[in-house]
Amino acid sequence: MNAQKVVLDNHIRLLMEPLNEVPSVCIGLWVCTGSRDEAPEENGLTHFIEHMLFKGTSSRDALQIAKEIDKIGGVLNAFTGREYTCFYVKVLKSHLEKGFEILSDIFFNSLFREEDIARERGVILQEIKMVQDSPDEYVHELFYRDLWGEDPLGAPISGSLETVSRFSRDDILDYFQRHYLSSRLILSVAGNLDEREIIRLGKRYFGTGTVNGLRKTEARAAESLRGFHPHDRDLEQLHVCWGGVGCSRTHRDRYPLYALSTYLGGGMSSRLFQEVREKRGLVYSIYAYASFYRHEGTFAIAWSAHGDRFGEIVDIVRGEMDRIHRHGLTEQDLHEIKEQMKGNLLLSLEGTNSRMNKLATDEIYFGRFVPIEEVVANVDAMTLSDIEGALNAYLRPEAFCMTTLGPRVTEESDGGT
């Protein structure tokens, strides 16, 4: 791989990775601003702005934006995270400049018209309600709120019905001008490209942008909570998310912690899937996951089942964690986990979208491109001692937070979490 980085005069970082065996190019404009940058009264503004950048510029209305992308067979989309936002376009190589031009237009020239804000507010409020009506998704939002408390890391990315209902055009413009600075922008481009052409187009469409300034992100870790947090709702199933604090995106424990989540709940052969679903038929799905952020992370186990199975499932999950603490993993276990992790990684990076994502997130968290070979080498270098260290540091049920959504259950239902 020949990934390159160029810093434009206005501080925008331009990242490139040529993949000449594919016909497309994916161009991502990343803003190092996410929901955790918001004050409580601003919760949801980053996501609101993501929506608004598709609603019309000084030269195109929303329909024209959509038509211009459709008629070249391209894809234009965006997503908001807790620590960044991404706007991206994927086009054939022959339409590369059109992709750059449209992406530049929506970012620098969006109008944020009052009538568009009012209309999109309704769309976002429906989106929030849709999540709240999807308990298997909503339980994770509640879990973050219960785990991280009042810290912005625990706030919902889309905001709340209350905050989104209050946002004015002035609120949106003020937030945009304070956070969407060129020093916080990354252009990440992967696909069938020529580096000199990408640099030329990057300078033409993003190098002279007026959104400028320098601002450092505050280095502040979130403080977590623990305990039992039931959210009663009249549902057939009880949805549960149980976990605690993990390590940061750059911590050396990220590989063994991900390995533990893979071993416990990373697929159909995982311990929890086999013990809870296959052997006992108590759930349809049970899984574990690890999420990593700038200063901290999250490890969690999630499932849904009939409420009267709550205590039994908690006992099994606790028993599996206790078993690992007592007996550890074998060398064969570790070998199989490594192969699964490497397979998942390499298969996930086959497309230009995922390569574009990796380029940008490497820059955000590491300040450099991390070759896939280096990641694979780090996975291969894991030892049973590394696993034991992560196990003792992060898989401690006594420090966990448990969120339930559905029929009423009590902490005593499983003998105490």
Picking from 118, 40, 53, 122, the residue whose alpha carbon sits closest to that of residue 85 is 53
Which of 17, 50, 83, 363 is catalytic? The answer is 50
Helix (H, G, I), strand (E, B), or coil: what is residue 90? strand
Helix (H, G, I), strand (E, B), or coil: what is residue 349? coil
Helix axes 254-265, 310-327, angle to 10 degrees: 130
Q: Provide the residue count of the chain.
A: 417
Tell me which H or E stretch contains 286.
Answer: strand 286-292
Partner residues linked to 300 by β-bridges? 243, 289
**Whole-number Å distance between alpha carbons of 160 and 125:** 8
Picking from 131, 134, 129, 161, the residue whose alpha carbon sits closest to that of residue 235 is 134
**Whole-number Å distance between alpha carbons of 257 and 290:** 7
Helix (H, G, I), strand (E, B), or coil: what is residue 237? coil
Distances in whole angstroms, Cα of residue 178 to Cα of each of 10, 97, 252, 289: 16, 29, 33, 34
H helix runs in 180-309, sequence order: 195-206, 254-265, 271-272
**Whole-number Å distance between alpha carbons of 291 and 299:** 7
Identify whether 50 is a catalytic site residue.
yes
**Whole-number Å distance between alpha carbons of 176 and 375:** 35
**Whole-number Å distance between alpha carbons of 217 and 365:** 12
**Whole-number Å distance between alpha carbons of 360 and 356:** 7
Residues with catalytic annotation? 50
